[in-house]
Structure 1
Amino acid sequence: MKKQGGFTLIELVVVIVILGILAVTAAPKFLNLQEDARKSSLQGLKGAMDGAAGIVYGKAAIEGKERSSATDEEVDGIDIIYGYPKASDTGIALAVTGLSEDWVSAVDTTQSAAAYVTTFKSDSVSGATQIINTKCFVRYTEATSTAVDSIAKASVIDDEC
């Protein structure tokens, strides 16, 4: 008679328990990836906005428009103020490629300086108030003067991504 080789029921249960413990300890690392990815995407958008603003400022400086506060100044079809893109659909939204197509944006009038807020595309989010309420967005604030502390800048708010 041949002896059959195999696993006993207790051995199989032990293996299943060990796999369960490993899954429970490893799962939190994988579950948090979406939050990290969203925050990283916002940081990338911030970098794109800062980079685009710098390029537009360079073009404005070449044309001698970097000190102008006139509301009708433009560089390459992009509305500017003090050489930087304005916080509008005809300013920073045109300077950053894909901003209008891939993100939801709106002008934020709640700040003392004009700002443009942008978050992830969603059917349920539209308008500055809803974007701000997500607590997961990028705010581009337009330049208010030629002073160093008043230039255009982007900032990330990622409290609840």
Structure 2
Amino acid sequence: MMKKQGGFTLIELVVVIVILGILAVTAAPRFLNLQGDARDASLQGLKGAMQGAAGIVYGRAAIDGQESVSSAKVTILGTGDVDVVWGYPAASETGIGRVVTGLGSNGDWGVVSASTSTGNSIAYTFKSGNVGTETSCSVVYAVTPAVSFSEPTITVNKCN
């Protein structure tokens, strides 16, 4: 009497491997593109940090009576003098760059080389690799000195 052998045939094994290969090829790009999402999340985190810091500085400027002045300095404990425009941090290394931890030469974020830091806006991007430009993969902090009591605008330019 012959025993019936249990198990998979070679053809069944090849079919399963082919199906798994097709699934891997179609699903892998969706799951492997997490680096761009992580960068965008980091940029959103920096935007939140800038918003929080701007609010704290504005509170200090209001206490000092500097919220109605187009250009002034306020002293923040542990940070030193911060340049402000209508009570909010100025768009410079001595403004927003001084009050947000991690910005500037000692942090994880660097000023985009094409940023107009001497004007009314400054853009920050990831320090390593110089991946950002002012219009891609950066956070742009802008103030409007000509408009009284205007809040800064903070724009996130997602990574491509």
Q: Give the TM bin, normalised by the shorter chain.
A: 0.7 to 0.9
Match of 1:99 in 2: 103
Q: 1:109 aligns with which of 91, 95, 116?
A: 116
Q: Distance in 1 between matches of 2:87 and 2:19?
A: 62
2:88 paired with 1:81: no
Q: CA RMSD in A?
A: 2.6
Task: Choose between structure 1 and 2: higher helix proportion.
Answer: 1
* Percentage of identical aligned residues: 56
After TM superposition, give the deviation of residue 145 of structure 1 in Å: 4.7
* 2:70–2:148 Cα contact (<8 Å) kept: no
Unaligned runs of 5+ in 2: none
Q: Distance in 2 between matches of 1:66 and 1:110?
A: 22
Match of 1:22 in 2: 23
Q: 1:119 aligns with which of 119, 125, 129?
A: 125
Using a 3 Å threshold, how does the CA distance of structure 1 residues 29 and 66 change in structure 2: closer, same or farther? same
Q: Distance in 1 between matches of 2:144 and 2:19?
A: 59
After TM superposition, give the deviation of residue 44 of structure 1 in Å: 1.3
2:158 paired with 1:152: no
| TM-score, normalised relative to structure 2 | 0.80
| TM-score, normalised relative to structure 1 | 0.80
Instruction: Report how many residues are paired.
Output: 152
After TM superposition, give the deviation of residue 25 of structure 1 in Å: 2.7
